[in-house]
């Protein structure tokens, strides 16, 4: 069974750094793109970016380029989304999702709530 299990909720202060994770099981991690999606409170889904763990090729949405970093560790089948200096506007739910057929997102993690507040 394919499973994407995300790290727990985080509460941080503005300016702090953060790295959230998405651990995969049930398929060959290196062979599928895995992406991140943001959902602001009460709002819709926004595509953040995606990584191919096999060679670390990474694509970012223009809206998120330079704001976050996506990485992956194939030795532990885990993808990451990282910030170096959080802002209050980063407060959101973040989902990881596997890229499936024809650029779909066929399997999703349960979400990680990130709250940034002074």
Partner 1 sequence: QSVLTQPPSVSGAPGQRVTISCTGSGSNIGAGYDVHWYRQLPGTAPKLLLTGNSHRPSGVPDRFSGSKSGTSASLAITGLQTEDEAVYYCQSYDNSFSGSVFGTGTKVTVL
Which residue, 66 or 118, has its beta carbon nearer to partner 1?
A: 66
Q: Minimum CB separation from partner 1 for residue 102, in Å?
A: 4
Angle at 58 between CA 63 and CA 107, to 5 degrees: 90
Q: Minimum CB separation from partner 1 for residue 52, in Å?
A: 12
Which residue, 42 or 118, has its beta carbon nearer to partner 1?
A: 42
Which residues make up the interface to partner 1 (CB under 8 A)?
Answer: 35, 37, 44-47, 49-50, 59-63, 95, 97, 100-111
Q: Minimum CB separation from partner 1 for residue 59, in Å?
A: 5
């Amino acid at each position: 069974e394919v499973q994407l299990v995300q790290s727990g909720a985080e509460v941080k202060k503005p300016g702090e750094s953060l790295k959230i994770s998405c651990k995969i099981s049930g398929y060959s991690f290196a062979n599928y793109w895995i992406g991140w999606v943001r959902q602001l409170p009460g709002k819709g889904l926004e595509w953040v970016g995606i990584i191919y763990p096999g060679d670390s090729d990474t694509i970012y949405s223009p809206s998120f380029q330079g704001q976050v970093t996506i990485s992956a560790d194939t030795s532990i089948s885990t993808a990451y989304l990282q910030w170096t200096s959080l802002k209050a506007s980063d407060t959101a739910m973040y989902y990881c999702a596997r890229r499936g057929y024809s650029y779909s997102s066929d399997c999703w993690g349960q979400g990680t709530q990130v709250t940034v507040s002074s």
